[in-house]
Amino acid sequence: MDRKKRILVSPLDWGLGHATRCIPIIHELLSQNVEVIIASDERPLKILKTEFPFLTFIKLKGYDISYQEKGSFFWKIFKLTPGILRKILNEHEALKVIVEKYEIDGIISDNRFGLFHKNVPSIFITHQVWIDAGIFSGIIQLMNKWFLNKHIDVWIPDFEGDYNLSGKLSHKKNHGLKLSYLGPISRFKKSATNLNKQYDLIAILSGPEPQRTIFENMILSQLSFSNLKAVLVRGTPGKNLPSNHLNVEIFDHLSAKDLQEKIELSAFVLSRSGYTTIMDLSILNKKAFFVPTPGQTEQEYLAENLSEQKKAVIQNQKSFDLLAGITEIENISALNLNSEENKIQEKVTWFLNQI
C-alpha cells in the first residue's frame, strides 16, 4: 500500500507569528491524510511541539536575528546581510539532507528563503511581496523576487482586494510573481458568545531580543503605578513561570485555546504590530494598542495603516504611555475580519495534487 504524502512545514524563527499562522495549515494537511514533519528552531519549535506533540520534529537552525537597543536598524541589517545569506545557503544544504532522509514529497516554507528544492515542489508563505528597506529596497526586492520564484506558488494570508490588512506590502503591482491570496489565517475562531470582561487589558509580547525584554519591563513598570487588572504573556515558551506582578497575571506562554480565552476576557490587546497578531485580533474582533518594534519598518507601516483607518492606537516605544493610549482606545473601532473566508482547504488540496 502506498504511504501517505509527506510534507515538510518550516516557519521562520523571527518572532512567533510565522509558527502560529502555520497551525491552521498543519491542521488542514492532517485533515487531508498527509504526514507532516515540522522543521524549526527555538521558540517556534517549542510552540509547535505544544500544539502537535504527536508529529515528527527536526531542529533546523534559524537566522538568529536580534534587534539593536539603539542606532539604525537598516545599517545593522546591512552589516548582517552576508551572515544571513550564509545561513540561507546552510539551510538550503540542510534541506537536501532532510528531503533524502525523510523522503519529503512537498515543502511549505513560511519566510525561510533557503527551503526550495529542484526535485520537490514547494510553497512560500509571506505577506511581504514588497519589502520597505529604505535605501536598500532596490537590491532587497531583486533578491526577494529571485527566492520567491523558486517556488511553485506564493501564499499570501490576506484578501486580494481593497479590503485587506497588509496594504502595499502584498498588494503593490508589477511584481511579476505568481501569488495566491488565501484570506486571513489564524489559529483562532471567534466564540459564539461574548464573554464578560475580567481584565482591563492583555499584553502579548513576541519578537527578538533585547527589544522584547525592554518592552516587557516598560509595561510592568507602568502597570505597577495603575489600578489596571492585566494579563501579560511573555512569549518565551519553555522558561519557568515567574511570580505574578502585583495586579498582573504573568504567563511565559499559553496554548492557542487558553490565549484566546484570555484575549476574549480582556477589554483590549497591547502588543507589537506583527502581521499574524493583526490577523488574530481581526478574527477575534478586538481593539488593539500597537507599539511596533523599534526600527521594524514592516510593523511601523502596518500599525500606521490601521491607525489612519482608526482601527488601532499606535505609539512609539520610546514615548510609550500606557494610560494615554487607553484614553484613545474609546475612539477606535475593533479590528474585524471573517475567518471563514480563507482558502486554506482549496490551496492545500491544489498543492497536494501537484505532488
Query: Is pLDDT of 63 > 80?
Result: no
b/e map of 3-39 (b: 16 or more CB within 10 Å)?
eebbbbbbbbbbbbbbbbbbbbbbbbbeeeebbbbbb
Q: What is the mean pLDDT of residues 208-234?
A: 93
Q: Which residue has the cell 518565551?
A: 236
Query: Is pLDDT of 65 > 70?
Result: no
d(CA 354, CA 10): 19
The answer to whether 80 touches 63, Cβ cutoff 8 Å, is: no
Q: What is the mean pLDDT of residues 241-257?
A: 82
Residue range 137-181, pLDDT digits in tens: 778 788 888 999 999 999 999 988 877 888 888 887 656 788 999
pLDDT recorded at residue 85: 87
CB atoms within 10 A of CB 49: 16
Pinpoint the alpha helices (H) of 180-274. 211-223, 256-264
Three cell numbers, residue 105: 514529497
Task: Calculate what percentage of the chain has a pLDDT beyond 70.
Answer: 89
pLDDT recorded at residue 256: 87
d(CA 158, CA 185): 8
pLDDT interval class at 130 (50, 70, 90): confident
Q: Which residue has the cell 515543502?
A: 107
pLDDT recorded at residue 126: 95
Burial class (CB in 10 A: 0-12, 13-18, 19+), 195: exposed
Residue range 66-93, pLDDT digits in tens: 555 555 555 556 666 777 889 999 999 9
Q: What is the 3-state secondary structure (H, E, C) of 147-203?
A: HHCCCCEEEECCCCCCCCCCCHHHHCCCCCCCEEECCCCCCCCCCCCCCCCCECEEE
pLDDT recorded at residue 82: 77
pLDDT interval class at 111 (50, 70, 90): very high
Distance of CA 339 to CAs 144, 191, 235, 294, Å?
29, 11, 24, 30
Residue range 31-55, pLDDT digits in tens: 999 999 999 998 899 999 999 999 9
pLDDT interval class at 15 (50, 70, 90): confident
Task: Calculate what percentage of the chain has a pLDDT beyond 90.
Answer: 63
d(CA 274, CA 235): 13
Q: Look up residue 35 and give its amino acid.
A: E
Query: Is pLDDT of 13 > 90?
Result: no
Distance of CA 323 to CAs 190, 222, 247, 263, 329, Å?
28, 8, 15, 19, 10
Query: Is pLDDT of 212 > 60?
Result: yes
Closest C-alpha among 23, 42, 19, 39 to residue 31:
23
Q: Report the mean per-residue pLDDT for the chain.
A: 89
Q: Which domains does the chain have, with CATH numbers?
A: 6-184+340-353 (3.40.50.2000), 201-329 (3.40.50.2000)
Three cell numbers, residue 56: 515528527
pLDDT recorded at residue 297: 85
Q: What is the mean pLDDT of residues 248-263?
A: 92
pTM (2 d.p.):
0.86
